[in-house]
Amino acid sequence: MVGIDASIALAIWFPNVACSVPNGKERVEYLLELLELRNERILLPTPALSEILVRAGEAGVEFVNQIGRSSRFEALAIAAAKKAGGKAAGNATESWAKIKFDHQIVAICKIKRVRILYSDDPGLCNFASHSDLRTVRLADLPLRPEERGLFAGLENPTVHIGGNEETKQLTAESESSDPALD
């Protein structure tokens, strides 16, 4: 299971959301495709869900319905999430309410044994890292090979390695071993 925060979830469900990096929406779409190939479940902690609902306005009801119908996503509510590891890391410039939200998101992810938390929130990533939870930022997500311009328009190109006869076939399998997923 992997976790996402509001910054990633907004890029999934809201087409007009602005991303902090070039091709942010495409990166998230590709991540979802790779997670789908792995039959990976995606956790949306309740504090992140509430942030999305505040931003969604009237579209929030449909958003909750979509999550409820999906077998891939799990929204988890924990009334009193324990502080993850008792560590008090965070950004001193953030409000205490924001820091508490981050603590709850990390605690929920740790309770659910999330392997990776995908987030574009520097404060959340910092706290998660201090709590021994691996994070991947939006800018670190890979683009689809064709969006990178690598072998654009070619189907399963063969690459000649070195000066010998050894070749390697590039496929979706070789792409799915990206460090942002493992």
Does 150 lie in the same domain as 130? no
Q: Is residue 78 part of a domain?
A: yes
Q: How far apart are CA 80 and CA 103, in angstroms?
A: 11
Whether residue 23 is found in the same domain as residue 107: yes
CA of residue 57 relative to chain centroid, distance: 23
Same domain, 56 and 129: yes
Question: How many domains in the chain?
Answer: 2
Residues 155 and 77 in one domain: no
48 in a structural domain: yes
The pLDDT, as a whole number, for residue 96 is: 72
* Residue 62, in any domain of the structure: yes
pLDDT for the residue 113 = 92
Check: CB of residue 129 under 8 Å from CB of residue 135.
Answer: yes
Q: With respect to residue 72, please indicate whether it lies within any of the assigned structural domains.
A: yes
Predicted local confidence at residue 17, as pLDDT: 83
Predicted confidence at residue 34, as pLDDT, reads 94
143 CB burial (10 A radius; 0-12, 13-18, 19+): middle
Domain range for 37: 2-140
pTM: 0.69
Give the model's pLDDT for residue 154.
Answer: 47
Give DSSP secondary structure letters for the chain.
Answer: -EEE-HHHHHHHH-TTPPPSSTTHHHHHHHHHHHHHHTT--EEEEHHHHHHHHHHHGGGHHHHHHHHHH-SSEEEE--TTPPPGGG-----TTS-HHHHHHHHHHHHHHHHTT-SEEE---HHHHHHHHHTT-EEE-GGGSPPPHHHHTTTTT-SS-EEE-TTSS-EEE--HHHHTT-TTT-
Residue 180: inside a domain: no
- For residues 69 and 158, state if they share a domain: no
Instruction: List the pLDDT tens digit at each of the 182 positions of the chain.
Output: 999 999 998 888 887 888 899 999 999 999 999 999 999 999 998 888 888 888 877 777 777 778 778 888 887 643 323 333 333 444 456 677 778 889 989 999 998 999 999 999 999 999 999 999 999 999 999 998 876 654 544 444 444 444 444 434 334 444 445 667 77
